[in-house]
Structure 1
């Protein structure tokens, strides 16, 4: 067989292997649309890897990596303020520990189901790999809605949640963190309950804690800041910058707020942000301090923003934010918030770059459109890895029983995001598709995990 024939045969083998394993995934998980979407997005990128390195096919890495090492589902009973017993369902998916203890957030939201937790955990494997830190991938959550709940109800729920979860986690086993609906307050209650049940002060068991109980300074800002640092590297690589750019940011939680803050610091004008009810627009620029006051201190809706800034307008429906002409879009709210139609509108309105702050905020069709339209596209598993990177820094600080300054953490975060960007670019170039950061992120994250799995044998 000639060299050309060998290359063609390897390509055919790779395509067949990926197709066969994906068909098995669909057969095993027929109702898990979010998980299947995440798997397809990664699988499509890996064909050139299997064509070049048949060892991954020989070790059947794909079929191993798409199956979680452990799935935990449990009842979470709690008592509301009216004395009524409520019951929710909790999850922890411990997906892959090839690189280190499972690491990934906990999400409290009524939409949470096994498919969503599995998709988040699967993405987390590769995101954590990209950080260069020794952490595996996992995710957890519950179909509990914290919106409108009292502090007492949230405390009782989180304590009940941890009463089951504590037996499955530990500083060297599984280290949860926050996500949608789980901030410093919820993390604090969970840590307190873990400490009570464990009978020991193991600060490294959970991250996102208040700095006075072992949390890392700079963790709150990390995902949003890291997103902007990554996009800034991407823009610089193409002779662009954030200076003078018009930006829209979906969401108004931690990721969105600090992405806005850092973008403004780097010279951009943020003209819109949103919550689940609607969005605000101000051509003069959103005042991020007002957003912080509304969301961090008052837990109010974003519609209240216009009462403090008469130049702003409020619009019902959060998806309308993507109709606003902008230079850069930061989807930071939730999965699949940008569909093909929204992507088409962004492209038609001249968007130059899209940086994903949420997990899988763009559908597969939207991603394809961005790539085909030469939009500079920063995929979530690379661009929003700053949060878990600083969570890993928190684990290190807990192990060493010390605390780094904000400046130290921020410097390490900038270095990490720059390294992630470089890894993505190098992988994209190596596999023949320069500037395709979707390909680069998926391959760079996968190879490290796959090699570790091979080294550890069939387990």
Structure 2
């Protein structure tokens, strides 16, 4: 609840101006509620209008993206880039291609990215972008033509010292490759660090594909060890999603001794009591681009349920939501508690509603918020930028070790900040406070920029 008068006033003004952007308002309110103890210790923030500046993007670019489909028909989509905050480094954040993309969704993602990037300790600001284009069902040539048109406008607003996008939902190695090729062509330059998630033959980083899912498990394992004297060993894990994050969270959780029993897509989920056959899922999703229901058709003990929201009714010890925002509501959170779940760590961006988070906290669930637990992807993007700057390529083991160290560091920074804020063990409060303080210090040091 917002009790600080300064923060309440800022939020009320923001609410009036952004009434049609509920996800953005949800993300801002969570941060403002968490940082109240910090703001009360720093009256100078109000005098400098710090929070007012922090909740407004520095720049939003909106543009049309015309492209030609395989039938020769002209299609038009809308493209965006939200450049939210560059206090600690160039804007950094993914590009999302999905029909649900709009300005409010990208503002929420860009705002979250500010604090997530701050927690990694790497010099990266916060941004996000994308389009309402849907790559599903499109041919490679259609995706290429769209990506080239998208980059033809975006290229003038990005660069390795300005704004460094990466992939997100709907934007994988194929899409990044097409966009990088067009950027190179338009600028007559090879700026490896301006786009991350690239292929290994042209400046990509080993372990980048695995990074968000692996990082989620490294964070969860450290939290389990330090807060519960426990581990993944012998635990039953429920995972939502079947994209990049979910696949590699499943892989790492299994390596750490757990049994993952579910995966899902937007149509439904599969439950396999024997543990998910990850090799099959990788082929299904990364090669054939199929639907998760095909899993149940080829695995005799597996069952498919045509309602992805019911995945949280499956009994488990640990839940790792890796699909999309607000996928767990109050009812789903209560189903998790009823099913014996004691740990929820987030692989997707803001997958839990405020009501769901209240259920976690009131039932003593160990809760790892997305801006802390899913920071592995952007952390490894930062490591990819470092390799590009050095003109070097690190081994998988080197990158993985750095990723593990960063994720463990994020847990400890969040935990320590929760103690300082008077909410020991509340990692949501801790992550928000730790991420905020670094950005606030940089903004204060740089003065009021006109």
Displacement of 1:58: 2.3
- TM-score normalized by the length of structure 1: 0.97
| Unpaired stretches in structure 2, ≥5 consecutive residues | none
Aligned to 2:23: 34
Determine whether 1:172 maps to 2:165. no
TM-score by length of 2: 0.98
Structure 1: 5+ residue runs without aligned partners? 1-10
| SS of alignment partner, residue 449 of structure 1 | helix
SS at match of 1:81: coil
Q: Distance in 2 between matches of 1:150 and 1:90?
A: 20
Partner of 1:396: 386
| Residue 52 of structure 2 corresponds to residue 63 of structure 1 | yes
Provide Cα deviations, 1:254-273, integer angstroms capped at 9, x if missing partner: 00000000000000000111
Pairing partner for 2:427 from 431, 437, 446:
437
Out of 312, 327, 334, the position equivalent to 2:324 is 334
1:363 corresponds to 2:353: yes
Matched, 1:207 2:200: no
Instruction: Report deviation, 1:373.
Output: 1.0
Distance in 1 between the 2:338 and 2:41 partners?
37
Please list every run of at least 4 consecutive aligned residues from structure 1 whose deviation after the TM superposition is greater than 3 angstroms: none
Q: What residue in structure 2 maps to residue 263 of structure 1?
A: 253
Post-superposition offset of 1:57:
2.1
Are 1:284 and 2:274 an aligned pair?
yes
Cα distance in 1 between the residues matched to 2:49 and 2:342: 39
CA distance in 1, matches of 2:19, 2:266: 29
- The alignment status of 1:450 with 2:450, answered yes or no, reads no
Question: What is the deviation of 1:307?
Answer: 2.6
- Residues of 2 paired with 1:448 and 1:161: CA distance? 33
Q: How many residues of Structure 1 are paired with residues of Structure 2 in the alignment?
A: 448
CA distance in 1, matches of 2:63, 2:325: 24
- Write the distance in 1 (CA, Å) between the matches of 2:205 and 2:309: 34
Aligned to 1:353: 343
Matched residues in 2 for 1:369 and 1:315: separation? Answer: 25
- Looking at structure 2, the residues matched to 222 and 144 of structure 1 have their Cα atoms a distance apart, in angstroms, of 25
**Equivalents in 2 of 1:365, 1:304: separation in Å?**
33
Query: Residue 233 in 1 paired to residue 234 in 2?
Result: no
Between 210-219 and 56-65, the greater mean CA deviation after superposition: 56-65
List per-residue Cα deviations over 1:171-200 (Å, max 9, x = no partner). Answer: 000000000000000000000000000011
Counterpart mapping for 1:284-433 below 5 A = 284-433=274-423
Match among 148, 151, 154 for residue 159 of structure 1: 148
Q: CA deviation at 1:105?
A: 0.1
Task: Give 1:311 deviation, angstroms.
Answer: 1.1
| Cα deviation, residue 355, structure 1 | 0.7
Q: Counterpart of 2:82?
A: 93
Aligned equivalents of 2:408, 2:304: Cα separation in 1: 36
How far did residue 17 of structure 1 move? 0.7
- Counterparts of 1:39-118 in structure 2, within 5 Å, are 39-118=28-107
Cα deviations by residue, 1:104-157 (Å, 9 ceiling, x for unpaired) = 000000000000000000000000000000000000000001110000100000
Q: Distance in 1 between matches of 2:270 and 2:336?
A: 17
